[in-house]
Amino acid sequence: MKLLKDKIVKDGKVLSNQVLKVDSFLNHQIDPPLMQAVGEEFATRFKDAGITKILTIESSGIAPSMMAGLILGVPVIFARKRKSLTLVDHLYTASVHSFTKNETNDISVSKDFITAQDTVLLIDDFLANGQAVLGLLDIIEQAGAKLAGVGIVIEKGFQPGGALIRERGIRVESLANIASLENGQVTFIEEETS
């Protein structure tokens, strides 16, 4: 997605060979017209998938998911990172390990909002090691829902998450896929749908 890649090149900050900072339009300040375009792109790519719900994870997945949900006309659910103190038996929960932070946390979603009747599109801001997506897949499985695929705003193609998810036969659509952050430069992998 050219608009997004241009924005990454212009306003993204390469912090290291591994980390791209996008605080000015995605992770802290949010650019609504860019998020609208991102939502439109996800909606176009998944328009024939019969999606009934979008599932993401707080906090940075919410903005792009909200825009896609608006355009597809479906509700958006965000997995919470802290277990609610009440109604724990009424939650789907999964463990998500962060290699970056070297910690494992539970995420949870109320059983009220995803059921076996749903066809779910997963959306997240970054795909790095893929652990957040694996946790969300676990929750969809627990619900007995159908998975339409995974929509990612920025994939870091040099990290293992994308391969981990695709090798399960899951459709992953990344709007920008980064090949390398070396020498302070962002280079992209040519867009391909899978």
Maximal CA-CA distance, the chain: 49
Closest contact distance (angstroms) between CB of 142 and ligand G4P is: 19
- Residue selected from 60, 108, 131, 174 as contacting Na ion according to rule CB under 5 A: 60
DSSP, collapsed to helix, strand or coil, labels residue 173 as strand
The tokens for 48 are: 């024939």
- Residue selected from 8, 14, 22, 137 as contacting ligand G4P according to rule CB under 6 A: 22
The tokens for 104 are: 């494992």
177 is known to lie in a ligand binding site: no
| Identity of the residue, 60 or 108, whose beta carbon is nearer to Na ion in the bound complex | 60
- Residue selected from 128, 136, 165, 172 as contacting ligand G4P according to rule CB under 6 A: 128
Handedness of CA 134, 138, 143, 147 (dihedral sign): positive
| Residue 142 interacts with ligand G4P (CB under 6 A): yes or no | no
Compute how many other C-beta atoms are within 10 angstroms of the C-beta atom of residue 145: 19
132 is known to lie in a ligand binding site: yes
Which residues between 96 and 125 bind ligand G4P (CB under 6 A)? 98-100, 125
Closest contact distance (angstroms) between CB of 181 and ligand G4P is: 8
| Residue 78 interacts with ligand G4P (CB under 6 A): yes or no | no
CA distance 177 to 153: 9
Q: In the block, which residue shows the tokens 């949900």?
A: 69
Q: In the block, which residue shows the tokens 């391909």?
A: 192
Residue 103 — φ and ψ, nearest 5°? Answer: -150, 155
52 binds, among Na ion, ligand G4P, none (CB under 5 to 8 A by kind): none
What single DSSP character describes residue 36? H
Binding site for Na ion (CB under 5 A): 60, 125
**Which residues bind to ligand G4P, rule: CB under 6 A?**
19-22, 27, 59-61, 98-100, 125-132, 156, 161
